[in-house]
Structure 1
Amino acid sequence: MLKFDETTYTRIIDSLHDGLYFVAVDRTITYWNKAAERITGYAAEEVVGRSCADNILCHVDREGCTLCLGRCPLADTIEDCVEREAEVFLHHKRGQRIPVLVRVCPLRDAQGKVIGGIEMFTDLTSIEANNQRIKELERLALLDGLTQLANRVYLEREINARLHEYDRFALPFGILFMDLDHFKRFNDSYGHDVGDTVLQAVAQTLMANSRPFDLYGRWGGEEFVGVIRTVTAADLEQLAERMRLLVQQNFLVHGSEKLQVTMSVGGTSVCPGDTLESIIKRADKLLYTSKQGGRNRVTLG
């Protein structure tokens, strides 16, 4: 069995990433590690020998209740010997509040008598920031940057999920493939900034008028796709016509002009044996039929 001297133990404790401190039974702080200094801003010489009850760290809970002056987890653990864990907010020396996860346990002597307590605390600031960054990266990976609709990756994932659902439970769904008419000509005439504003307006129209369980996204360029759940062919046509009309009725004031665009739509319902490629290809061909038929119309099949 390895045996360490006091200096080695101190070095090990000071190398911990988490803050750690010991208190006596009366909650006088007897040890304060390097991570505790880093997380709180208080050097060991500023706190060792003082009592937690001096409210040095000013722990508060999520309701804003002060813990250090009353029944804090550490004091309770010293009294009943029950280990505890809690999320609290400590006061940093510079004034800000730091969210920390505290874990407390009783400190015993060789005979098992409680002679104080140990508290370890983890700074949750970086953890929360990392979680937020991960969520943001996930969001960016699945959303179109311009329109904030689902992007192609997200749409393909959704369609595959609906195909799997259809294969298992025979739940129907439909696809709407939508394309703005003569949009290149529009961009050439008014510029890409105006074109981007129009794309955003169309996206907002689709999103604002969709059912909560349907998904609309940007397939690319001026193309949009709707994944319409639990829908009959008649309902799919009605939804497609409504979206087409709503886009047609949109307008953007540009100088003295009122700019409008129209949208052609191809719609199809899932069929046995469909794959992502087959259902998209079918909807795309129906969209092409709408374009060939004069644009600003819906073709289903």
Structure 2
Amino acid sequence: MKNEDFYKNLLDTVEDGIYYVDTNRKLTFWNRGAEIITGFSAAEVVGSYCYDNILSHVDDDGNKLCLGGCPLQKTLEDHTNRTASVYLHHKNGHRVSVSVKVIPIIENGTVVGAVETFTDNSKEALIMKDIEQLKILANQDQLTELPNRRYTESFLKSRMDEFNSLGIPFGVIFMDIDHFKRFNDDYGHDIGDEVLKVVSKVYRGAKRSQDIIGRWGGEEFIGVFSDVNMEQLSTIAERIRMLVENSSVRGHGEELRVTISLGATLVREGDSIEDIVKRADSLLYESKHNGRNRATLD
């Protein structure tokens, strides 16, 4: 295999689009990546000129770069590497966002052409979206779509760090669905799951944007509320309790009433995360002991 064929075959394995032009801007090479990104085959493109406006590059302002302001043309003129973000015209008619790099081809001190590489930004955006989705899934309880315990613990640690360094107070509310076992035993786990989902939707709507309510485990949830005093925390706890009490789940042809018990407390000097969680948990069980469907604060 000739060296030229070897390198062309090698470049065909690259996902980015790559093409060469001579000093007259005539396209002399068009790799497989360019075919995939643009929809134009090498047979359709090689031998044409980039100013034929096949790809019809435009910038963010809609300027037609192939007719003026072409990065490749500028590189042929001043022999300088360039990068740009442009939108090329796909064979099917739509625009594709690409990042372009242009490099002059120099032989024996003379510029004989230029190579342009372009990367499909939409593909990168999809990858980034997938990464962000994975991050969400890693921190989210799949059933309730609330933050999971790991994320809730991390958020709680951040609030504790703020309290210790800046003195910003926060409150914790421990919440537990009353008689949850009965829903599972009497109506089945599907209804039990529905109860968890309904209560979780109430939690999402009841909290402020700077706060979180996460699933701690089973039917237990913990809310972390930033920069609150006891009166504000009491108001939040009562609002959550009331909203859950006024929600219901449909099961076996009847409206099933749902209530929760809550234990709420503010952070104190010398508290560890374990201290404040344990105190909120104890207050929760005090609510259970005193008849459920109530909040106990300390």
CA distance in 2, matches of 1:101, 1:292: 64
Aligned counterpart in structure 1 of residue 166 of structure 2, from 164, 169, 177: 169
Q: Please say which of residues 141-150 and 8-17 is displaced more in the overlay.
A: 8-17
Aligned residue identity for 1:133 = D
Q: Secondary structure at the match of 2:223?
A: strand
Aligned residue identity for 2:189 = H
Aligned residue identity for 1:73 = P
CA distance in 2, matches of 1:95, 1:147: 42
Aligned counterpart in structure 2 of residue 116 of structure 1, from 104, 113, 117: 113
CA distance in 2, matches of 1:74, 1:197: 59
Q: Does 1:278 align with 2:275?
A: yes
Structure 2 unmatched ranges of 5 or more: none
CA distance in 1, matches of 2:7, 2:271: 65
How many residue pairs match? The answer is 297
Q: How much does 1:38 deviate?
A: 4.5
**What residue number does 1:21 align with?**
19
Aligned counterpart in structure 1 of residue 264 of structure 2, from 239, 264, 267: 267
Identical-pair percentage: 48
**What residue number does 1:76 align with?**
74
Aligned residue identity for 1:86 = A
1:45-75, Cα deviation, whole Å (9 max, x unpaired):
4322111122333334456654434433223
Q: TM-score, normalised by structure 2?
A: 0.87
CA distance in 2, matches of 1:119, 1:281: 62
CA distance in 1, matches of 2:118, 2:48: 18
**What residue number does 1:32 align with?**
30
CA distance in 2, matches of 1:95, 1:128: 20
CA distance in 1, matches of 2:255, 2:14: 65
Q: Does the C-alpha gap of structure 1 residues 209 and 148 become closer, same or farther in structure 2, counting only changes over 3 Å?
A: same
Q: How much does 1:294 deviate?
A: 0.9
**What residue number does 1:288 align with?**
285
CA distance in 2, matches of 1:63, 1:261: 56
Q: Please say which of residues 67-76 and 136-145 is displaced more in the overlay.
A: 67-76
Aligned counterpart in structure 2 of residue 146 of structure 1, from 143, 147, 157: 143
Q: How much does 1:215 deviate?
A: 0.8
Give yes or no for contact 2:88–2:97 (8 Å, CA) kept in 1: yes
Aligned residue identity for 2:45 = V
CA distance in 1, matches of 2:71, 2:202: 52
Q: Does 1:297 align with 2:297?
A: no
Q: Secondary structure at the match of 2:66?
A: coil
Q: Does 1:90 align with 2:88?
A: yes
Q: Does the C-alpha gap of structure 1 residues 205 and 64 become closer, same or farther in structure 2, counting only changes over 3 Å?
A: farther
Give yes or no for contact 2:187–2:252 (8 Å, CA) kept in 1: no
Aligned counterpart in structure 1 of residue 153 of structure 2, from 145, 156, 159: 156
Q: Does the C-alpha gap of structure 1 residues 168 and 5 become closer, same or farther in structure 2, counting only changes over 3 Å?
A: same
Aligned residue identity for 1:188 = D
1:55-113, Cα deviation, whole Å (9 max, x unpaired):
3333344566544344332233334544322233334456665432111133445344x
CA distance in 1, matches of 2:208, 2:256: 27
Aligned residue identity for 2:130 = R
Q: How much does 1:8 deviate?
A: 6.1
Q: How much does 1:298 deviate?
A: 0.9
CA distance in 2, matches of 1:257, 1:11: 69
Give yes or no for contact 2:178–2:293 (8 Å, CA) kept in 1: yes
Aligned residue identity for 2:171 = G
Aligned counterpart in structure 2 of residue 222 of structure 1, from 204, 219, 223: 219
CA distance in 1, matches of 2:53, 2:260: 66
CA distance in 1, matches of 2:14, 2:264: 60
**What residue number does 2:201 align with?**
204
Q: Secondary structure at the match of 1:68?
A: helix
CA distance in 2, matches of 1:190, 1:65: 64
